[in-house]
Amino acid sequence: MELTDAEQAMLAGEAGFAARKAMEILVALGRIYEAEDLVQVGSVQIAGVSYHNLGDAGLQWLGEMAEDGRVRVLTTLNPAGMDLQDWERHGIDPAFAAQQQRVVQAYEAMGVAPTCTCTPYLIGNLPAPGEHVAWAESSAVAYANSVLGARTNREGGPSALAAALTGRTPRYGLHLDHERVPEVEVVVEATPRDTSEWGALGHVIGKRGGGRVALLQLPDAPGMPALKSLGAALVTFGGSPLYYVDGVTPQPPWVPVKLPPLTVTRDDLRDALRELADGDEAVDLVCLGCPHASLQELADIAEQLRGATVQSELWISTARPTAEAARRLGLIETIEAAGGVVMSDTCFAVAPIDRPGQTVATDSVKGCYYGRGHNKLKVHLGSVERCVAAAIRGRWA
Ligand code: F3S
């Protein structure tokens, strides 16, 4: 692989221990994927933040890298295993909290912004069309490639940190024009009606598309919450983190004469939702904000909760700056008056929830996957409105 003088110097350790380790990771990756060189990145989004997933080995590695490692580009963090400020109120074990704080402190020592959100594009890490970035959070990778038109592979935790400490990533995969060509045309016969159905569409394409780059033909262009849900589910279920939607994706794709078609009907969406759901009628917990909720989504939830009292626990995850704006607008007060909880820095999939067998209702197909897998919860899937109604009644109808 061809390296510049500056890159050779980092590899030789002239920029310190962490930069050398980071270059070693990138060069090894580049060789595996036959990259010709490294490409400069405009920003990095790091996953691997929850102590629940990292454990002591991960924390120790971060501590070693933080001794002299400093990021060279804007670098933001994925959700942690708890709300970094309100963890006591949420019943987090103090021993876990102490280790989680150490993880975030190690990242901060390297100059990483402790944003702890999976929607960095909603709070200022917003790449331009065509910009190369190195992001790790799968839902954000799909959003960056497909909605913003940026270029990123789906990085792992170590490779994203390595990109942050060097400002570079190997030029392979979705950084290359010929890897961004659509390979399958998806004809969506019925427009999904809510975020759970957009997630169901992502589930169907992910499972049937075989990891190919999809070109979606939709009756109507979707909005931001729909695109968040679609991309999050699509990648979770094995799809490529690049898809094209006419009128949404900034760079029009080069389209081969005829692509193999894949048709998705309303029955397919309904079947996907049925296949994923296994909850009991009584709902213990309702989780919204996966991916993290926008200000408008918080406003919609607050409006539905106004004057009501929830019978089930209701958690809504969002980025801290979004929560602060919502507080100034009185939205958090309305949600809390109804008994709901707005959490920042975390989500129900990465937090250590020990409630096996309990039933959660969510609009998120990705959240459903992790709620069932990591946290052994039973799940109901439906629109945000239906989930909020279930929280108020304490039952799924
Ligand atoms: Fe974000 Fe957690 Fe969902 S990281 S995409 S809210 S599983």
Query: In this predicted structure, what is the pLDDT of residue 253?
Result: 64
Residues 6 or more apart from 339 whose CB is under 8 A from it?
A: 309, 310, 314
Which residue in the block uniquely carries the two structure tokens 């898809």? 243
Give 396 Cα–ligand 1 centroid separation in angstroms: 23
Q: Could you tell me which of 50, 60, 126 has the C-alpha nearest to residue 375?
A: 50
Residue 162 and residue 86: Cα distance in Å, rounded? 31
Instruction: Give per-residue burial for 368-397: e unless 16+ CB within 10 Å, then b.
Output: bbbbbebbebbbbbbebebbbbbbbeebbe
| Residue nearest ligand 1's atom 1 by CA | 291
75 lines ligand 1 (CB under 6 A): no
Average pLDDT over residues 164-187: 95
Give 347 Cα–ligand 1 centroid separation in angstroms: 6
Residue 234 and residue 353: Cα distance in Å, rounded? 25
350 lines ligand 1 (CB under 6 A): yes
Average pLDDT over residues 322-326: 98
Using pLDDT thresholds of 50, 70 and 90, give the confidence band for residue 7: very high
Residue 226 has pLDDT above 90, yes or no: yes
Residue 168 and residue 148: Cα distance in Å, rounded? 20
The dihedral through the CA atoms of 133, 139, 145, 149 has a sign that is negative
Q: Which of 53, 117, 346, 350 to mutate to test the pocket of ligand 1 (most atoms within 8 A of CB)?
A: 350
Residue 113 and residue 132: Cα distance in Å, rounded? 19
Average pLDDT over residues 19-34: 98
Give 317 Cα–ligand 1 centroid separation in angstroms: 8
Query: In this predicted structure, what is the pLDDT of residue 139?
Result: 98
CB atoms within 10 A of CB 19: 25
Query: In this predicted structure, what is the pLDDT of residue 350?
Result: 84
Query: In this predicted structure, what is the pLDDT of residue 375?
Result: 77
Query: In this predicted structure, what is the pLDDT of residue 324?
Result: 98
Query: In this predicted structure, what is the pLDDT of residue 257?
Result: 62
The dihedral through the CA atoms of 237, 138, 107, 89 has a sign that is negative
Q: Could you tell me which of 108, 126, 114 has the C-alpha nearest to residue 84?
A: 114
| Residue nearest ligand 1's atom 4 by CA | 118
Quote the percentage of the chain above a pLDDT of 90: 87
> For 339-370, what is each residue's pLDDT tens digit?
999 999 999 888 877 888 999 999 999 999 98
73 and 41 in contact (C-beta within 8 Å)?
Answer: yes
Give 86 Cα–ligand 1 centroid separation in angstroms: 18
Q: Could you tell me which of 18, 25, 67, 76 has the C-alpha nearest to residue 47?
A: 76
Query: In this predicted structure, what is the pLDDT of residue 103?
Result: 98
> For 135-156, what is each residue's pLDDT tens digit?
999 999 999 999 999 999 999 9
Residue 47 and residue 135: Cα distance in Å, rounded? 8
Average pLDDT over residues 206-220: 91
Average pLDDT over residues 191-218: 95
Query: In this predicted structure, what is the pLDDT of residue 356?
Result: 86
Q: What angle do CA 72, 319, 107 make, to 5 degrees?
A: 35
Using pLDDT thresholds of 50, 70 and 90, give the confidence band for residue 221: confident
Average pLDDT over residues 200-215: 95
Average pLDDT over residues 205-220: 91
Query: In this predicted structure, what is the pLDDT of residue 386?
Result: 97
| Residue nearest ligand 1's atom 3 by CA | 290
> For 253-292, what is each residue's pLDDT tens digit?
666 668 888 999 999 999 999 999 898 899 999 999 999 9
Residue 290 and residue 232: Cα distance in Å, rounded? 9
Residue 70 has pLDDT above 90, yes or no: yes
